[in-house]
Amino acid sequence: MQKSIFMIGCGVVLIGVLVVALIIGVGIWNARGNLIDREQAVKAAWGQVQNVYQRRFDLVPNLVEVVKRYAEHESSVFTQVAEARSSVGKITITPEALNDPALLAKFQQAQGELSSALSRLLAVSENYPQLKANENFRDLQVQLEGTENRITVERMKFNETVQAYNTYRIRGVFALMAGAVFSFDREKVYFKADEGAQKAPDVGKIFHQ
């Protein structure tokens, strides 16, 4: 009789352990799925950031060529733009590298230097009325203005998706466990607020002076 009770007790304990293990397993698996979804959202947002920066990168040569026709003596400005664009072209960050603060900081610094160089290039137009009146130049100004605005928007969206990922990753026990088991153990990096040389050019102000 006692043996039967003992066996029943062991069975109940075993079932309880299995139920708890199942609950934990399901919780971890669901958390893994949520982490994957949020990580994919971060990668998608990063792709949009890269797209708008690439659009600006592609606009630069055309803008420089138009300015050169009217301001060929502004060689130092052209050199600064070329060097800044070259620095940007040397940096590539894959989505997998978005948990490396040093890499993203390097990327942001290079993009900021190009922004500053473009500000100086656009300021040159104030000394050349014929350049300001050139239709191609004004069209490129509008395109660049729109691109700068999109950069601001896409960076903000990227930071929001990173925040959602980072917050979920540490929000609950299952997410923490899934992060440790499936290598979601590092937070994603945010874009930092621009300051100094990293400020985007106030393109709209320059355009409408």
CB 112 within 8 A of CB 197: yes
**How high is the pLDDT of residue 15?**
76
Both tokens assigned to 111:
């993009």
Q: What is the pLDDT of residues 157-176, one digit of tens each?
A: 999 999 999 999 888 888 88
The answer on pLDDT for 87 being more than 80 is yes
4 domain residue, yes or no: no
Burial of 128 (0-12, 13-18, 19+ CB in 10 A): middle
Element (H, E) at 52: helix 2-70
Q: What is the pLDDT of residues 23-76, one digit of tens each?
A: 778 778 888 888 889 999 999 999 999 999 999 999 999 999 999 999 888 889
Which residues 6+ apart lie within 8 Å of 39 measured at CB?
165, 184, 188
**CB count, 10 Å around CB of 65?**
12
* Total domains present in the chain: 1
The answer on pLDDT for 207 being more than 80 is no
132 domain residue, yes or no: yes
How confident is residue 4, by pLDDT bands cut at 50, 70 and 90? low
62 domain residue, yes or no: yes
24 domain residue, yes or no: no
19 domain residue, yes or no: no
pTM: 0.81
| Residue 170, domain extent | 38-207
**How high is the pLDDT of residue 11?**
65
**How high is the pLDDT of residue 12?**
66
CB 51 within 8 A of CB 26: no
Both tokens assigned to 208:
């409408």
123 domain residue, yes or no: yes
- Domain CATH for 144: 1.20.1440.20
48-54, Cβ contacts within 8 angstroms, sequence gap of 24 or more: 48/154, 48/157, 48/158, 49/151, 49/154, 49/155, 49/158, 51/154, 52/147, 52/150, 52/151, 52/154, 53/88, 53/111, 53/151
